[in-house]
């Protein structure tokens, strides 16, 4: 990465870039990080706007309602101000403004926070959506992605050069939040988590400075942002290591009737303990179009076709599939196959935890939960890890939960707000029994009702070090809308 040497705030010229925009006509009501109501003066807001290259949107501005929308339609929040950032200078200016006024701050990367933490009521939304550029350096096998890039942006740009890195499974998810929390995906067993791919990042820290973080520059900050979520600042570009990849995989869905699911899941867990790094299979219990309960094995095998076919033979024999769509396919197609199911603007409620194994009792409970579900779209997914993810020490960087082979994800989705209470109520009732089979959870999960004293479970044995670093880099907890690490008082 070209050196983004520590730049003091004075390095950003705050010239009047948007003098054509109408001046603010009255003081603005806003909310601070600790929940106080304040008034921002017209002149302060005008000065802030004038110093940005991108737009500053107030509630009456055209584009405001589009900008505050995020992936999960459950959240309809109204920030006092939205800074549509075009670059690191805009981000630094926004952080400086937020800090000066102690504002509540939400940072929006791709907007896929399951608990709506990229938008807030009454605070400042630092919106990175306009910052999606990705630049590949094929000779050095590196990709530099701006803070608001989506996973599909990275996949498309890198694959064009016969290169790839680990991203997640839905292409419209943001790389920002996913990388900072860890990042699981179809190639994680082969190459490691998304955060394992980072070679460096430029970050605007809570004091408004832009600093570089890497193994050699601010190494403690670099340790913290690889799994510590959005707690430490706003990353403007991430730089990822890339791996040669021909762009093809054997993948798709292998579908079994629910009657065979117990036997298939038991056999699957046994086989998958010994699976090679190139094989990724996510079991999903769900409802097929037409209403039948089914077990899907969602497959991506990145080995050459003949080896992939051989690896898949025992999985195909676990039962009698009613549908077998696993075939040689472009990897990018697999990466987009769930984009429509995970519709932007749908109403989602999710609970997750990590599980070492798919124990028999857990399998029985998941089947009972899905078979007896009284809501239209119940779903339990078990995305796997293992392979290269497990070969990194849990304290090598902030991401701790490397030893568990699966996540258990209970999810409901809907389109009509009238269905929310039923969906959410069902998930809340079913989760405690499922949760008893899990250990710790992902920082990138739904944190809506998570008691503050439990959030540390996301960080396991790395929590104390993270608290010390949070205290150093963000002592006032400016970046609090995340799996929040509270600084020492």
Per-residue DSSP letter, 373: -
Q: Are 230 and 177 in contact (CB under 8 A)?
A: yes
CB contact at 8 A, 80 and 124: yes
Q: How far is the CB of 129 from ligand FAD (least distance, A)?
A: 8
Query: Least distance from C-beta 87 to ligand FAD, angstroms?
Result: 13
CA 304 vs CA 327, 328, 344, 356: distances in Å: 12, 9, 34, 29
State which residue, 321 or 354, has the beta carbon closest to ligand FAD.
354
What span, in angstroms and rounded, lies between the C-alpha atoms of 118 and 120? 7
C-beta of 117 vs 438, nearer to ligand FAD = 117
Shortest distance in whole angstroms from residue 185 CB to ligand FAD: 5
Of the two residues 159 and 235, which places its CB atom closer to ligand FAD in the complex? 235
Task: Tell me the sheet residues that pair with 457.
Answer: none
Cβ closer to ligand FAD: 255 or 481?
A: 481
Least Cα distance to 420 among 379, 376, 458 occurs for 376
* Residues that bind ligand FAD in the complex, under the rule CB under 6 A: 70-71, 107-114, 117-118, 128, 147, 168-170, 173-174, 176-178, 180-185, 230, 234-235, 342, 444, 481-482
In this structure, are residues 4 and 239 in contact, taking their beta carbons and an 8 Å threshold? no
d(CA 141, CA 214): 16
For residues 159 and 246, give the distance between their C-alpha atoms in angstroms, rounded to a whole number: 8
Closest separation in Å from C-beta 483 to ligand FAD: 8
CB 120 within 8 A of CB 77: yes
Distance of closest approach, residue 68 Cβ to ligand FAD, in angstroms: 12
Cα 312 from Cα 254, distance rounded (Å): 10
Nearer to ligand FAD by Cβ, of 195 and 365: the residue is 195
Nearer to ligand FAD, 168 or 456 (CB): 168
- Minimum CB–partner distance for residue 38 and ligand FAD (Å): 22
- CB atoms inside a 10 Å sphere around CB 487: 20
């Amino acid at each position: 990465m070209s050196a983004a040497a520590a730049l003091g705030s004075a390095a950003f010229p705050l010239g009047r870039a948007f003098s054509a925009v109408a001046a603010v006509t009255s003081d603005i009501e806003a909310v601070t990080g600790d929940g106080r109501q304040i008034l921002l003066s017209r002149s302060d807001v005008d000065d802030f706007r004038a110093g940005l290259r991108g737009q500053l949107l107030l509630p009456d501005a055209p584009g405001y309602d589009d900008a505050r929308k995020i992936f999960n339609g459950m959240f309809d929040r109204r920030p006092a101000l939205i800074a549509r950032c075009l670059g690191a200078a805009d981000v630094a200016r926004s952080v400086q403004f937020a800090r000066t006024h102690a504002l509540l701050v939400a940072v929006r990367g791709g907007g896929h926070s399951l608990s709506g933490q990229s938008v807030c009521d009454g605070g400042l939304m630092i919106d990175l959506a306009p910052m999606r550029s990705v630049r590949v350096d094929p000779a050095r096998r590196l990709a530099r992605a701006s803070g608001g890039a989506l996973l599909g942006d990275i996949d498309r740009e890198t694959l064009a050069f016969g290169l790839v890195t680990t991203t997640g499974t839905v292409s419209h998810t943001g790389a920002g939040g996913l990388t900072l929390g860890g990042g699981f995906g179809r190639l994680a067993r082969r190459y490691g988590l998304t955060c394992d791919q980072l070679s460096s990042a430029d970050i605007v820290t809570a004091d408004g400075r832009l600093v570089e973080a890497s193994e050699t520059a601010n190494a403690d900050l670099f340790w913290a942002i690889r799994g510590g979520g959005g707690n430490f600042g706003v990353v403007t570009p991430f730089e990822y290591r890339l791996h040669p990849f021909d762009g093809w995989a054997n993948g798709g869905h292998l579908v079994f009737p629910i009657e065979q699911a117990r036997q298939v899941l038991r056999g699957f867990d046994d086989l998958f303990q010994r699976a090679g790094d190139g094989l990724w299979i996510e079991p999903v219990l769900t409802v097929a179009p037409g209403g039948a309960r089914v077990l899907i094995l969602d497959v991506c095998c990145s080995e050459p076709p003949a080896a992939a076919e051989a690896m898949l033979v025992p999985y195909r024999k676990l039962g009698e599939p009613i549908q077998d769509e696993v075939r040689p396919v472009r990897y990018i197609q697999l990466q987009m196959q769930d984009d429509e199911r995970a519709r932007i603007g749908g109403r989602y409620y999710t609970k997750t935890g990590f599980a070492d194994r798919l124990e028999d009792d857990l399998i029985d409970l998941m089947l009972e939960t899905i078979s007896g579900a009284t809501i239209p779209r119940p779903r339990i997914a078990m995305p796997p890890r293992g392979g290269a993810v497990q070969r990194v020490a849990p304290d090598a960087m902030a991401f701790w939960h490397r030893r568990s082979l699966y996540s258990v994800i209970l999810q409901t989705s809907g389109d009509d707000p009238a269905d929310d209470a039923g969906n959410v109520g069902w998930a809340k009732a079913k989760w405690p029994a499922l949760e008893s089979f899990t250990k710790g959870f992902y920082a990138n999960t739904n944190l809506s009702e998570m008691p503050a004293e439990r959030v540390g479970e996301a960080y396991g044995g790395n929590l104390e070090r993270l608290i010390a670093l949070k205290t150093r880099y963000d002592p006032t907890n400016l970046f609090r809308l995340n799996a929040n690490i509270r600084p020492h008082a």
